[in-house]
Structure 1
Amino acid sequence: MTLKTALLSKRVMMGTVLGSSLLLTACQEQSELSTPLQESETNTLGSALVAKLDIVNPSSFKRPDEPIYISYYDLGLSQAAALTVKTAEQVVASQAVDVDSDGELDGVYFIVDLNDKPIEVTITRQSKQPLTKQTKRVQADLAHKEGGEWQPHSRPPKHQIGTGKKEYVGGRFKNVNELTPPAYYTDHSNWIRYEGPGIESDKVGYRFYLDWRNGFDIFGKLTTKPVLHTVGLDGYDSYHDKEDWGMDILKVGHSLGAGGFGLINEDDQLEHVAEVASRTARILDNGDLRASIQIDYQGWTNSYQQQNLTANISMHGGSRLAHVQLSTDKDLPNLVAGVVKHPDTEFIQGDLDAMSNYGYSYIASWGKQSLDKSSLGMAVFFKKGDVIDVRQDKNNYLAVLKPKGHTTQRTDYYFASVWQPESGISDKESFIEYLDQQAQRLTIKPRITLHTTVTAKQTTQKLNAVAAINWARALGNSELQRKTLSYQANGWDVNRKRTPKFEYDIIGLQPYAYYQLGVATNEQVYKDVITQVTGSFIDQQGKISAYKQSNYNIDNIPPGRNLIQLYQDTKQPQYLTAAKALREQLHLQPRTSQGAFWHKNKYQHQVWLDGVYMGMPFLAQYASLFETGHQQQESFAEVVNEFKLTREALRDPKTGLYYHGWDESKQQTWADKQTGVSAEFWGRGMGWLAMAVVDVLDYIPAQNTKQRATLLAIVNELATDIAKVQDAETGTWWQVLDKPSALGNYQESTATAMFAYFYAKALNNGYINIDYKDTALLAYQGLLNQFALVHSDGTVSMTNQCYVAGLGFGRDGSYHYYMSEPVSKNDPKGNGPFILASLEVAKLLTKLD
C-alpha cells in the first residue's frame, strides 16, 4: 500500500470526527433544484462542538488584536446561538454581531493576537449564553439634553444668522440609541453632547458633527477604558483641556477633519455634506469588542442632485482604525475622504504602483498638529481600485473615490489617528512603519481554515460515484440560488461590482460546467444555464454584447465552447455567427515571434500560462466541427504548437513546474531580464494548463498520432511533476506551489479542483497510469475536506479561492504579490472546476467499482 493510498483510506473510511449523517445517497438523484443536503438533518448537532479554526499570521510582524468574524451561515447555524470561543483551552472574549447592519445578528466576532505560530480555535454551542465577564474595549455613544428649553441662538454661524437656528439652555444629558436633530439645530447649539455621536476603542475616540460641517474630530485617550459617556457632561470647553482620560486633540475648522467625507463637485471643488433635509444618528452595535454607528443623511442636496446617503462607521478593540461604509441611492461620479491639512504638516502617500487593485494604500499627514502641540498622524486607507485621484486643497489632503454598485452605490475606506502621548510614535519614520503594517493587515487577511460539524457530517462519508455527483449538484444548486443567473447580459457581477463582460469565467467556464452537470444528471435546469447566461449576450444577428474584438483579449474566447453547444442544440444561426467571430479573433490575435498568442493586445509580447485554456479548447473544438481539410489541420497544428511554445517558454526544467508568464521582450518589471519569465509558480496558472491539455485531446483526431503523442507526453509529464508538490497530508495544492512553508502561503481550492479534474479525466481516458488513482482521489477528498462548507439550509460553499491573479499594472509577480490578492469563496473560477472534477471523479469511481 502506498503512502497516498494509506492516507486516502484513512480520510475516506474514517468515522466522522465531529458528528455523522449520511445524506449524499443514491436516493437523492432526483431532479430537484434544492440541494441534496437537507436543513432538518444538517441542523442536528451531534455534540456541542460547532467548529474548529486554524488561524495563521500571514505577515512577518506580529498582529496583535486581529479581529476574526465567522458568520452563522458559515458555521452551519440557521440563527444566532450562544457560542463559546476558546484557544488553548482559554475562553476568548467574543461578541454576536450584525456586520451587514440589517438588524439581525449574523455571526460571532472575536479578537486574537497573531504571532509566528498558528492558533487553533474551537467554537462550541451552549444551551444558553454563558455568563462570562469580558472587558469592554469599544463604545458607541449618543446623548442629548432634556429638561431644558430651546431659545434663539446667541451666536449662530455667520452664514446661518437670521435662519431661526436655536440653542438649548439648561437640562441634563440622556443617552439614546437614535437621534434626529430638529431643523433649527446647528453647531454649538449645546443640545448634543460633544455635538454628535461618538465611537471609541481602547486606543482612541472619534466624534462626528451632526450638523452642516459633517467634520470628524478626535479624542486622544490616555486610558484604555471607555470614556465617551463621561466627556462633555459639564459643558463644551472642558474636553479641550488635558485630563486623566485624555482630551480633544484636533482643530477641524472648515476641513473634513480626521477621515470625514464629502464629494468633488462639478467645479472640481470639495463639497461637504451640508444641505440635508434631516440627519439621523443611531447606534447599531455597542458590544465589548465591536461598536458601530450609522448616520442617515436624508434629502442631501448636492451640486449633482438630491439623494440619500448612509454612513456606517465601526471600530474594534485594540485598533485605531475606523471603518467607514458609504452607500447612496443614486449614482455619483465620486465621493471623497480626507484629513485636515494643517500648516507645517507633512503629507505622506503610500505606494499606488506596486499593488493590485485590491491592495490597500493610504494618504496621511504628520506633524505637531495636536491641540496640545504633540505629534499627531492621521490617515485614510483605501483600495487602489477604488481611488480616482489623490489631491490637496486649502484645508484638506484628499482621496477621491468612485462608488460602485447596482441598485445602491457603495464605497468604503478606513481612517486612523496616532497621537504620540498614547501611541509612543514620535517621528515620521515610525508613523510610516505603522501605516505600512496597517495597510498590509487590511490587504492580507489571516489565513483561516474552517472545519464545521455540519460540514464534517458530509465530507467524512465514504466517497462513491453518487456522492461525487451530488457534491456537484449541491454546489451548482447553491450558486443558482445565490448568483449564477445574475451574470446574464445587463445583469450584475457581484464580485467585480459591474455589469458582466463576455469573458472566460462567468460566461465561459461556469456555464460550461453546468451544462456538463446537466448531461451527467439529465437535468435540463443545468443545461439551460448556457442559454440564460452565455446566450443572453448574443443578439439575433450574432453580435456579441460586452465584447470588443480589437482588444484581442484571449480571456474572451472560452464562452465560444458554450456558443458551439447552443448551436448544436438549437441550430439557431446567431450562435454559430458569434462563434465565428471568436474564431476570427484568433486568426488576428497578435503573436510572439514564434507564433504564441499574446494574452491581450495591451499585454504586448506576453504569454500567460492560463492562455492555453482560454484559447485552445475552443479552437480545437471549432476546428473539429466547422473546418475541413488543410484549414482544419492547420488549426490542430496551431493548438499543439501553442502547448509546445508555452512549455518551451514557461517550464522550469529543474522542477517541471511552469512560471505564470513570459515576456518575449524582457521589458516588463515582473520579467527576468535574462529569461523573460515571471518569478513564481502559481497554482491556478498550472491548473489552467492541466485542464486545457486534457480538454483539447477530446478533439484532436485519433489519426493525428504525432500531435496526440505530443500532448500525451505533456499530460504524463504534468502528472508526474504536479504530484511532487501535492500536500501529502491533505491532498491539496498551495497558492504558490513550491513554497508550502513560506510566510502567508495557503492551501488553495481552485488549483486543487483543477488538478483533481486533470488527474481524474486523464485516468478515465487512459492517458496516464492507473497508479495515479490515489493522487486523483486524495485530491478530490482534500477538496471536500479542506474547502467544502455546508450551511444550515443545505447550501454548499467552496472556500479558500484565490480571487484573481495577473501580471503588470502594479502586479509584480513576486511571492508577496500572490499573497496579497484576496482570498474568496464561491467564485466561478473555482465553482466550475469543482463541478467538473466531481463529474470526472464520479466516472472514475464507477470504473474502479
Structure 2
Amino acid sequence: MNKRIRYTLAAVALAVLAGCNPSVPSTAKQSATDSKNAAGSVNAVASLQVANPSAFARTETLYLPFADLGLLAAEASTLVATVDGKAIPSQQIDRSGDGQADTLFVQLDVAAASRQSLTISDDPALSNQSNWPARTQAEISHKVGGEWQDAKYSGGSFQNVSELTPPAQYTDHSEWIRYEGPGIESDKVGYRIYLDWRNGFDIFGKKTSELVLQDVGQDGYQSYHELADWGMDILKVGKSLGAGGYGYWDGEQVQLVSEVGQHTAKVIENGPLYSALQIHYKDWQIAGKTVDLTADLSMTAGSRLVNTRLNLSEPLENIAIGLVKLPDTKLLQGTVNITGHAWTYIATWGNQSLSAPDSKLGMALLFKRGQLLNQTEDNNSHVAVMRPAGTELEYYFLAAWDGEPAGISSEAEFVQYLEQQAEMLTLTPRQTLKTTLGATQKAGPLTAEVALNWSERLAQSEMTRQTPFYAYGGWDYERKRPSKWEYTTGLQLQAYDDLLKLRPNPEWQQVLTDVIDSFVTEDGDIRTYKVSNYNIDSLNTGNMLLRKYQRDPKPQYKQALDLLRQQLAEHPRTSEGAFWHKKIYPHQLWLDGVYMGMPFLASYSKAFEQGHAFDEVVKEFTISRDKLRDPTTGLYYHAWDEAKEQNWADKETGLASQFWGRGLGWLAMALVDVLEIIPEQETELRQPLLDMAAELAEALVKVQDPASGTWYQILDKPDAPGNYLESSASSMFTYFFAKGVNNGYLDARYKETAVKAFKGLVDEFILVHPDDSVSLVNTVQVAGLGFGRDGSYDYYMSEPLFRNDAKANGPFIMAGVQIAKLLNSAKE
C-alpha cells in the first residue's frame, strides 16, 4: 500500500474568521504569498495563539509544517516568528528527513495556564537579522589521510561529513570515527551513538552550556574519558542499551541492533535551535526476519530530551528500549494507571556517573503507556518492551547530571522534572492557527453551495488520505493499525453517502461498495467482527450495510445484517433494559452507545420487522435521559455505572463527572437520525424523542461559544485551564441543529444557531493547504472510561488531539449537507 503524505502537526485549530468561501477549483492553485493582503498585513502568513494547559510555565516547541501555513516549500525561505513585532527563536527544519525543509520550528515561552500570541511573517529583512545563538548541534566526523591496518585506522586527521557509511572492516575501537559514532547535543547535555555492533547510547555530561562536540575527541580516543573543563563521557555502557537505546526482546534478553548488513548515519539538521540525526540500519537480522530500521533522533535548545522515531521496513512484535543497569542506582517508575495515550516513564537515579564516586546521574525513557507491553530486565539493561504502531515507535530518552550548571542534584528534583516532562508530552499546547490562505478562501457569505463545497473538499481530501484504506487488509492511519469493521468506518462511509445524494461521484460511490464488500464474505460473515464481544460500537457500520442492501439486495448482505441484529438480541443489558456499552464494560450505559446501536436497530426493524423494535429503541433514549441528564443544566453526563463500582462513577449516583462534548454529540445525532426512521404516524413513540431534542437544543445553545459558534471539549467549563474548542462535538451539534430544523423536529429559531455553528466549524477548524486539500483539526482522538481513564476533567484534557479523524470528518461532511438543505429551503 502506498503511504500518503500526512501532516505532522496535531492540535492546530483555525482562529475565528469572517464568513466562508466556496472551494477553490483545482486549476486555481493559490498560495499564501499570492494573497497576503487578506490578513491585513503585507508580510503576514499566519497568526497563532498558543495556550499552556499546565500549572507551570513551559517552553513550547512548536512544529508548523509549511503546508499548514499555506505555503509551498519554495515560498518559506524567509519565514520568521514574532511576538509584538519582535522576532522569537525559530528555525526552518527538515522534519521528515527527506532532504528538504518542510517545517518552521518555533520556541515560545508561555506562563502557567496562560495564552501567548505570535505572528508568522514572510519578512526577509527580519529573517536575516534573526541569527540565534547555537544551542544544539549534530555531527559526524571520521579520519581521512591515514590508512586501514586490518580493523584499525592509523594516522590521518578528522573531517566532519554530513553522511557516513563505514566500510566493512569497521568495528568498535577502530579509531576511524571520532568518539565512535554520530553525536548530538543541546546546551544541557550531549549523546553519542556507537556506529557498530554495540549500538550503545552514551552520555557526554557537560559542565558548560556552550556546544562542545566539535572539540571532543580531537586529541585522541581516551581524552573524553577524563574530566575536563567542558565535562566528560559519564556513562559505562558495556553490552547494554546504554542511555536509551533500542533493540528486540526475545523473551529472555535484549537482542541489540548488531547483526546489520550496513550502517549509514546522516546529519539531517545542524541548527541553532533544532538538530537531528538519522541512522539507517540495513538488513538487520532479527526474529527470523531481515528488516531495515531507520532511527530519527532530534534535540531542541534548552532540553535534555532526544526525540526518537523508529521506522521498520516490516512489523516486529516488539521493540525493546532501555537503560543500562548499574549498581548503586534506584529504578523509578512513572504512573501506569492512566490512559494509554498518556506519556509515562521509567528511569534510574544514583551514583552511576563515571565523573566521581558521589556524582549523581539520572537517566529516563518517556513513552506512551498504551504501547508498553512489559517492563523487565536482563543482565545488562532495564527494559521497556514496546508495541510498535505498525512499523513505527516514538519515544524520548534523556540524562540529567548533577555536574551541569545548576543541574538536578536530588532524586526528588529528578522525579519532579520527569513528571513535568510527561505532562508536557501528554497535555500538548492548545493552538489556534489563522492563515492568510485560509482567510482568503473563507471570505464571503455562507450559501448552500459554499457549505456543500466545504463538505466535498474534505471528502475529496480524505479520498487521498484515508477512505479507500478503510477496506479490509488496509491501514487505519489515524489509529495506526490494520483497518477493522468499526464505527469510524461506518461513520465516514455514511457521510460520503449523504453527500453523494447532492453531489454524485461514481468514484466515491465505488469506494463505498469496495469497503463494505471487503468485510462481508460470500457466506454472510463479517471479517474482524465477533458477536461474542458484545461491543455496541460495532453496529454503526451496519447502517451503511443496510443502505447497500436496499440498493443491491445480495443475500450475503442480509446474512451479515442478521448477524448484527443477533448481537442486539443477545446483548447484555442493565436491569431496566439499556444496552451495556461493551461486554468488557459491564453494567455501563454510555452516551456513545445510543448512537452506535439505536439508529441501526431502528432501521433494521423498519426494514425487516415491521418496526417491532421501535419501543426498544425509544426506551434506550428514555433510560439515557433518566439516568444521564442533569436537570439543572439540561446536559448529559458521559456515562452511568449501574453497579456503582467503577472508579470514575459517583458512589451514590453511578454517574461520570463530566459533560463531554462528543459524548453528547453522539446522543444528539442519534435523536435526529432515529426520528427520521420512526414513521410520523407513530406519534406516541416519537414524542419522547421530540421532547428530548427540544430540551437538548435549549441546553446546547447556552454552552455554545458566543464568539466562534462552536463548542468546548468539556461543555460547561470554557475557562478551565487546557479546555479547548473541539471539532467533532461541534460538527455533531451543527448536524443536530440543522437536521432538526430541516425535518421539523426543532423550532425554526434554531436555524440561526445552526448557521452560526457551521460558519464556526469552517472558521475554527478547517485548515487550507496550498495543494487545495483541507484538513479538519482539533479533534480529540478518543475518550473513554475505565482501564486507567478516571473520568476526571484532567483525564479529558490528557487525550491527544488529532486531525482528519473520522469521528469529526463524518459529522462535518454530514453537517455541510444539512446546512445546504437548510439554506436552500430558505430560498424556496
TM-score tier, shorter chain, comes to: over 0.9
The 5 Å alignment of 1:525-604 reads: 525-604=507-586
Deviates more, 1:179-188 or 1:685-694: 179-188
Preserved contact between residue 514 and residue 529 of structure 1 (Cα < 8 Å): no
SS in 2 for 1:698: helix
Could you tell me how far 1:708 is from its partner in structure 2?
Answer: 1.1
Which amino acid in the other structure matches residue 97 of structure 1? I
Pairing 1:260–2:242 present: no
Q: State which of 242, 263, 266 in structure 2 corresponds to 1:279.
A: 263
Q: State which of 588, 591, 599 in structure 2 corresponds to 1:617.
A: 599
Could you tell me how far 1:540 is from its partner in structure 2?
Answer: 2.0
Deviates more, 1:92-101 or 1:135-144: 92-101
Aligned-partner Cα distance in 2 for 1:450–1:425: 36
Preserved contact between residue 31 and residue 72 of structure 2 (Cα < 8 Å): no
Give the aligned partner of residue 160 of structure 1. Answer: none
Aligned-partner Cα distance in 2 for 1:182–1:522: 59
User: Could you report, residue by residue, the CA deviation over 1:638-689 in whole angstroms, capped at 9, with x for unpaired residues?
Assistant: 1110000011111111111111111100111111111111111100000000
Give the aligned partner of residue 147 of structure 2. Answer: 149
Aligned-partner Cα distance in 2 for 1:581–1:37: 47
Pairing 1:486–2:469 present: yes
Aligned-partner Cα distance in 1 for 2:449–2:262: 59
Pairing 1:392–2:389 present: no
Aligned-partner Cα distance in 2 for 1:557–1:275: 47
Give the aligned partner of residue 159 of structure 1. Answer: none
User: Could you report, residue by residue, the CA deviation over 1:512-539 in whole angstroms, capped at 9, with x for unpaired residues?
Assistant: 0100100022333333332122232112
Could you tell me how far 1:394 is from its partner in structure 2?
Answer: 2.2
Which amino acid in the other structure matches residue 193 of structure 2? F
Could you tell me how far 1:15 is from its partner in structure 2?
Answer: 8.0
SS in 1 for 2:468: helix
Give the aligned partner of residue 48 of structure 1. Answer: 43
User: Could you report, residue by residue, the CA deviation over 1:806-849 in whole angstroms, capped at 9, with x for unpaired residues?
Assistant: 11111111111111111011011000000111111111112223
Aligned residues: 801
Preserved contact between residue 780 and residue 802 of structure 2 (Cα < 8 Å): yes
SS in 1 for 2:686: helix
Preserved contact between residue 444 and residue 820 of structure 1 (Cα < 8 Å): yes
Preserved contact between residue 517 and residue 526 of structure 1 (Cα < 8 Å): no
In structure 2, relative to structure 1, the CA distance for the partners of 1:546 and 1:302 (3 Å cut) is closer
Aligned-partner Cα distance in 1 for 2:180–2:781: 43
Aligned-partner Cα distance in 2 for 1:23–1:832: 19
Give the aligned partner of residue 733 of structure 2. Answer: 755
Could you tell me how far 1:42 is from its partner in structure 2?
Answer: 6.6
Give the aligned partner of residue 175 of structure 2. Answer: 190
Aligned-partner Cα distance in 2 for 1:342–1:672: 45
The 5 Å alignment of 1:185-584 reads: 185-265=170-250, 268-353=252-337, 355-373=338-356, 374-405=359-390, 409-422=391-404, 423-506=406-489, 508-584=490-566
Deviates more, 1:143-152 or 1:555-564: 143-152
Could you tell me how far 1:346 is from its partner in structure 2?
Answer: 0.2
Preserved contact between residue 464 and residue 842 of structure 1 (Cα < 8 Å): yes
In structure 2, relative to structure 1, the CA distance for the partners of 1:770 and 1:711 (3 Å cut) is same
Which amino acid in the other structure matches residue 546 of structure 2? I
Could you tell me how far 1:295 is from its partner in structure 2?
Answer: 1.3
Aligned-partner Cα distance in 2 for 1:55–1:227: 33
Q: State which of 110, 115, 125 in structure 2 corresponds to 1:114.
A: 110
Give the aligned partner of residue 10 of structure 2. Answer: none
Q: TM-score, normalised by structure 1?
A: 0.92
Give the aligned partner of residue 6 of structure 2. Answer: none
Give the aligned partner of residue 169 of structure 1. Answer: 154
Q: TM-score, normalised by structure 2?
A: 0.94
Pairing 1:78–2:72 present: yes
The 5 Å alignment of 1:51-62 reads: 51-62=46-57
Preserved contact between residue 143 and residue 174 of structure 1 (Cα < 8 Å): yes
Which consecutive unaligned segments of at least 5 residues does structure 2 have? 1-15, 37-41
Could you tell me how far 1:456 is from its partner in structure 2?
Answer: 1.1
Aligned-partner Cα distance in 2 for 1:42–1:292: 29
In structure 2, relative to structure 1, the CA distance for the partners of 1:316 and 1:848 (3 Å cut) is same
Could you tell me how far 1:794 is from its partner in structure 2?
Answer: 0.9
Aligned-partner Cα distance in 1 for 2:27–2:346: 48
Aligned-partner Cα distance in 2 for 1:399–1:218: 20
In structure 2, relative to structure 1, the CA distance for the partners of 1:37 and 1:415 (3 Å cut) is farther
Aligned-partner Cα distance in 1 for 2:270–2:622: 61
Which amino acid in the other structure matches residue 44 of structure 1? D
Give the aligned partner of residue 721 of structure 1. Answer: 699
Aligned-partner Cα distance in 2 for 1:469–1:803: 25
User: Could you report, residue by residue, the CA deviation over 1:755-774 in whole angstroms, capped at 9, with x for unpaired residues?
Assistant: 01101111111222222222
Deviates more, 1:790-799 or 1:240-249: 240-249
Preserved contact between residue 727 and residue 808 of structure 2 (Cα < 8 Å): yes
Pairing 1:732–2:710 present: yes
In structure 2, relative to structure 1, the CA distance for the partners of 1:509 and 1:428 (3 Å cut) is same
User: Could you report, residue by residue, the CA deviation over 1:15-51 in whole angstroms, capped at 9, with x for unpaired residues?
Assistant: 89xxxxx644xxx8xxxxxx66841477622332111
The 5 Å alignment of 1:678-693 reads: 678-693=656-671
SS in 2 for 1:319: coil
Pairing 1:133–2:131 present: yes
Which consecutive unaligned segments of at least 5 residues does structure 1 have? 1-10, 17-21, 29-34, 153-165
Q: State which of 771, 778, 803 in structure 2 corresponds to 1:825.
A: 803
User: Could you report, residue by residue, the CA deviation over 1:723-760 in whole angstroms, capped at 9, with x for unpaired residues?
Assistant: 11111111110001111111111100111110011011
Give the aligned partner of residue 651 of structure 1. Answer: 629
Aligned-partner Cα distance in 2 for 1:207–1:187: 13
User: Could you report, residue by residue, the CA deviation over 1:579-629 in whole angstroms, capped at 9, with x for unpaired residues?
Assistant: 12111111111000000000111111011111110011111111112112x
Give the aligned partner of residue 684 of structure 2. Answer: 706
SS in 2 for 1:142: strand
Aligned-partner Cα distance in 1 for 2:441–2:163: 45
Deviates more, 1:172-181 or 1:272-281: 272-281
Which amino acid in the other structure matches residue 205 of structure 2? G
Aligned-partner Cα distance in 2 for 1:416–1:540: 53
In structure 2, relative to structure 1, the CA distance for the partners of 1:119 and 1:187 (3 Å cut) is same
Pairing 1:67–2:61 present: yes
Give the aligned partner of residue 752 of structure 2. Answer: 774
Could you tell me how far 1:284 is from its partner in structure 2?
Answer: 1.0
* Cα RMSD (Å): 1.8
Give the aligned partner of residue 800 of structure 1. Answer: 778
SS in 1 for 2:245: strand
Preserved contact between residue 43 and residue 78 of structure 1 (Cα < 8 Å): no
Which amino acid in the other structure matches residue 305 of structure 2? L
